[in-house]
Structure 1
Amino acid sequence: MSPIAKICGITTPEALDAAIAGGADYIGLVFFAKSPRHLEIARAKALAGLARGRVKIVALTVDASDETLQEIVDEVAPDALQLHGGETPERVAEIKRKFGRAVIKAIPVATAEDASKARDYVGVADVILFDAKASSGADLPGGNGRTFDWSVLEGVSDSIPFMLSGGLDPDNVAEAIAQMHPAAVDVSSGVEMAPGVKDPERIRRFLHVAKTAKQT
């Protein structure tokens, strides 16, 4: 069975159409001003309107306030909220309760110790996403095109269904799936021709590989 596939950082109808045509299960809309994929509410609402009923919609935020989250929920109506900041388990539980959406919690990983922090969110977040930890001083917590040593997930990933992100692209996603057996894979910069500019052909190729990859 192939993993669920998510194309994150969608900013145009063309990229959205490529994701849907390729069989994406989720698309991500980014609400983080420092990101080249950041969307204003009106633009995100328009894209969500095109996507609704065709693919699940995820809204990505970073340590967002209740006010910001409420606006996103009211205007964009995502199926899930992806929390990519330093949200504690208590904050994740609060967000899930207040906004009534499934929650994906990103865990930035460079070491086995980083990966072990995912255990604190089991039973709180609906999905754990392992992403490459950003370098010190980086503007973005994710979407940097960085991979990490997947072996640091051993001992944690075996007991947690998880989404794998961090430097995935059409050329390495099959290896990632075969080696790590993720429940889902997530890509953003790995299907871009420039920061924030999705390449429809790379989207299609990534999804084809992800959907046909074999888990060993």
Structure 2
Amino acid sequence: MFCLLGNLSSAQETKVLEPGLKLTLFAEDPDIVTPVGLAVGANDEVYVLESHTHARPTDYQGPKTDRVKVFFDKDKDGVADGFRIFAEGFNAGMNLAFSKDGVLYLICAWSLYALPDRDKDGICDGPELILTLDTKGNNPHGCWLGITFDDDNFMYLSRGNTSGEYWKVEGKDGSRVEGYGDGGNVIRAKADGTELQEWATGFWNS
């Protein structure tokens, strides 16, 4: 277990309660600020979603959009040696996950992107919009929140209550999941945005 922290005192106050686990500081401010999502690549590089758009104050001095940073530890000492910007230009970013074929996905409150790196230069070749959550609900905590993949490369997308507003997600093959006035749910789909189905429901903000 490792931490990405904006304040060292937070690490000093944290206790590890599970035997066999160790908490160490991997990266900190100013290299990383407001981390909200994390995924580890096949080469052990750490991909971090850095939020700059959530409840942004009018006098905020940081970047104008959310971005994904990649931290690397070349000497394998457990501390990041540096980072690079993998992708940027996003709004209301929520979380990251790798598909089983090694493509990084970024879920935002109202959109889902694939972030391929086909030329293997360590930088995203350009975001690909996979799915959109169509709703008038404007609270990011009540829209899409999380993403994960299973061993068959199906993805699972968690959704909040959309403030009671009608919502719809339409797949690239015409499959559709929609609702009105319900709580949160989990949508299952193929990684290419097809074969959508409601996998679980009955949550509030999952």
Say whether the fold is shared (TM-score over 0.5). no
Task: Tell me which of the two structures has the higher relative contact order, counting C-alpha pairs closer than 8 angstroms and 6 or more residues apart.
Answer: 1
Kindly indicate which of the two structures has a greater share of residues assigned to strand: 2
Larger Rg: 2
TM-score normalized with structure 2 length: 0.27
Kindly indicate which of the two structures has a greater share of residues assigned to helix: 1
